[in-house]
């Protein structure tokens, strides 16, 4: 993580009557990170995001942007933040370019060169004159992100940016977010599309019942599980051979795929051991834990938002 903290939650809490929606949340997000914010339904994600944006007053603790308290310094803090919350609020009857010009006017005016830069960034230059009602959902999401970037904020807060997108649209958003991080922007995003989060984010925070249960790099949460998938002609026959070995008792067949441990935990040693047994696999792939599996394990829930 960068040594520059762009976004932080400091013992951030919010109570509605006797219900504690967010309970002493502690987070730090570094410059240039794409940071995922995950949790089951009702975990407190939306309440947290609204506090981070100064839309909801914390019961205790504080939200900080670039070291400043969001509630105490709204005028200084909010110009540093671009946000996309829920569905994109765009003018369907205007073109993509006119949408950017209209929102830019509300900010005091944005020069044409800035609009051109953003249209190029979100890959909409070729469709800039078309009315937004003709755009796909993915294009609308990209345009909404361009709107959030009009004032060149240091931080983007995105609530479900991949919601409702088809696979191609998700890939487009992923490319854009990684490009923004590469340019030094910090992206804080919630999402229920965990495969998208796994491939997009550097780190994630997982909350449940308003409390933080994990903050970790994605690579740590999806680390190798110590097993390998083998493509062989006769999985059942090879399974019998492997299970006869001291290291092969946990070998099994899942969905037609042979899954086996290695004598040492390394793939090359598994291949060597199989070779000595007269088995030549067509393919060997190390198994990893998915972010979804890690999420379910940490939250004990099959429902997320």
| Helix/strand/coil (H/E/C) assignment for every residue in 75-104 | HHHHHHEEEECCCCCCCCCCEHHHHHHHHH
Asked if residue 299 lies in contact with residue 210, where contact means CB atoms within 8 angstroms, the answer is no
User: How far apart (Å, rounded) are the C-alpha atoms in residues 140 and 130?
Assistant: 12
Asked if residue 211 lies in contact with residue 12, where contact means CB atoms within 8 angstroms, the answer is no
* Together in a domain, 184 and 52: yes
User: How far apart (Å, rounded) are the C-alpha atoms in residues 236 and 109?
Assistant: 69
Asked if residue 205 lies in contact with residue 174, where contact means CB atoms within 8 angstroms, the answer is no
| Cα first-last separation, the chain | 26
Which of 192, 219, 246 corresponds to the end of one domain? 219
- In this predicted structure, what is the pLDDT of residue 273? 94
* Together in a domain, 199 and 280: no
Kindly state the percentage of the chain with pLDDT values over 70: 97
Does 297 reside within a domain? no
* Together in a domain, 119 and 182: yes
Which of 183, 201, 219 corresponds to the end of one domain? 219
Does 256 reside within a domain? yes
Does 296 reside within a domain? no
Asked if residue 37 lies in contact with residue 188, where contact means CB atoms within 8 angstroms, the answer is yes
Does 69 reside within a domain? yes
Does 295 reside within a domain? no
Does 303 reside within a domain? no
- Please compute the mean of the pLDDT values over residues 142-154 and round it to a whole number: 93
- In this predicted structure, what is the pLDDT of residue 303? 41
* Together in a domain, 57 and 124: yes
* Together in a domain, 211 and 148: yes
Angle made by CA atoms 51, 305, 15, in degrees to the nearest 5: 35
The per-residue pLDDT for range 255-284, each reduced to its tens digit, is 888 999 999 988 899 999 999 999 999 999
Which CATH number fits the domain that encloses residue 156? Answer: 3.40.50.300
Which of 186, 219, 252 corresponds to the end of one domain? 219
Q: 207 - beta bridge partners?
A: 212
Does 35 reside within a domain? yes
* Together in a domain, 155 and 248: no
Structure tokens of 280? 């030549």
* Together in a domain, 195 and 257: no
* Together in a domain, 232 and 114: no
Does 17 reside within a domain? yes
Which CATH number fits the domain that encloses residue 264? Answer: 3.30.70
- In this predicted structure, what is the pLDDT of residue 144? 93
Domain membership of residue 182 as a residue range: 5-219
* Together in a domain, 198 and 274: no
pLDDT above 70: residue 305: no
Confidence bin at 2 (pLDDT 50/70/90): low
* Together in a domain, 206 and 247: no
The per-residue pLDDT for range 181-236, each reduced to its tens digit, is 999 999 999 988 898 999 999 999 999 999 999 999 999 998 877 889 999 999 99
Please state the domain count of the chain: 2
């Amino acid at each position: 993580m960068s040594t520059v903290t762009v976004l932080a939650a400091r013992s951030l809490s919010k109570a509605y009557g006797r219900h504690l929606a967010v309970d002493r949340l502690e987070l730090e997000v570094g410059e240039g990170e794409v940071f995922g914010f995950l949790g089951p339904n009702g975990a407190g994600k939306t309440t947290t995001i609204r506090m981070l944006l100064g839309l909801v007053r914390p019961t205790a603790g504080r939200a900080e942007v670039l070291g400043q308290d969001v509630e105490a310094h709204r005028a200084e803090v909010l110009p540093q933040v671009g946000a996309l919350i829920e569905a994109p609020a765009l003018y369907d009857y205007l073109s993509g370019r006119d949408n950017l010009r209209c929102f830019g006017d509300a900010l005091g005016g944005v020069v044409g060169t800035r609009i051109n830069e953003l249209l190029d960034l979100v890959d909409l230059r070729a469709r800039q004159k078309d009315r937004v009602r003709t755009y796909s959902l993915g294009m609308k999401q990209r345009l909404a992100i361009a709107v959030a970037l009009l004032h060149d904020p240091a931080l983007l807060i995105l609530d479900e940016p991949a919601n409702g997108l088809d696979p191609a649209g998700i890939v487009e958003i992923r490319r854009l977010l990684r490009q923004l991080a590469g340019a030094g922007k910090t992206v804080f995003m919630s999402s229920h599309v965990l495969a998208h989060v796994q491939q997009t984010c550097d780190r994630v925070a997982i909350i449940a019942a308003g409390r933080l249960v994990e903050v970790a790099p994605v690579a740590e949460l999806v680390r190798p599980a110590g097993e390998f998938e083998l493509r062989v002609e006769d999985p059942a026959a090879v399974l019998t051979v492997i299970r006869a070995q001291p290291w092969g008792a946990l070998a099994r067949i899942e969905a037609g795929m042979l899954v086996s441990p290695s004598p040492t935990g390394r793939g090359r040693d598994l291949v060597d051991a199989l070779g000595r047994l007269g088995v030549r696999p067509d393919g060997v792939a190390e198994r990893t834990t998915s972010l979804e599996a890690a999420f379910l394990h940490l939250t004990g829930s099959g429902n997320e938002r």
